[in-house]
Amino acid sequence: MTNTAVSSASSTLDQHALAPALLERLASHVTATGGAITIPAPFTGEALAELPLTTDEDVRRAFDTAREAQRGWSCLPVKDRVRPFLRMVDTLVDRREEILDIIQWETGKARRHAYEEFLDVAMCTLYYARRAAKLLGPRRRQGALPIVTRTRELRHPKGVVGLISPWNYPFSLGTSDIVPALMAGNAVVHKPDTQTCLSSLWALDLLIELGLPKNLWQVIVGDPAEIGDPLLDNADYVAFTGSTRGGRTIATKVADRLVGYSLELGGKNPMIVLDDADLDRTARGAVRACFTNAGQLCVSIERLYVHEDIYDAFAAKLVDQVKAIKLGADFSFDTQMGSLTYQRQLETVTRQVEQAVRAGADVLAGGRSRPDLGPLFFEPTVLAGVTGEMELCAGETFGPVVALYSYRGEDEVVAHANDTPYGLNASVWTRDVARGRRLAARIHAGTVNINEGYGAAFASYDAPMGGVKQSGVGRRHGAEGILKYTEVQAIASQHYVDLEPPGSMPYGRYADMLASTIKAMRRFRIR
CA distances from 85 to 65, 473, 482 (A): 22, 27, 14
Active site residue 264: yes
Residue 332 one-letter amino acid: S
CA 379 from centre of chain:
25
Q: How far is the C-alpha of 488 from the C-alpha of 260, rounded, in Å?
A: 13
Edge to edge, what strands does the sheet with 149-157 contain? 139-141, 149-157, 486-494
State the Cα–Cα distance between residues 10 and 462, nearest whole angstrom: 39
Determine the longest span between alpha carbons in the chain, in angstroms: 93
Q: Transcribe 419-486 into DSSP letters.
A: -SS--SEEEEE-S-HHHHHHHHTTS-SSEEEESSSSHHHHT-TTS-B--SGGGEES-BSTTHHHHTTE
Closest-CA residue to 304 (of 386, 365, 398, 368):
386
Assess whether 393 carries a catalytic annotation.
Answer: no
DSSP β-bridge partners for residue 465: 476
Q: Which of 117, 264, 379, 396 is catalytic?
A: 264
Look up residue 18 and give its DSSP letter. Answer: P
Decide: 464 and 483 in contact? Cβ < 8 Å: no
Catalytic residue among 197, 298, 302, 393: 298
Q: Among 381, 319, 372, which residue's Cα sits nearest to residue 349?
A: 381
Annotated catalytic residues are 264, 298
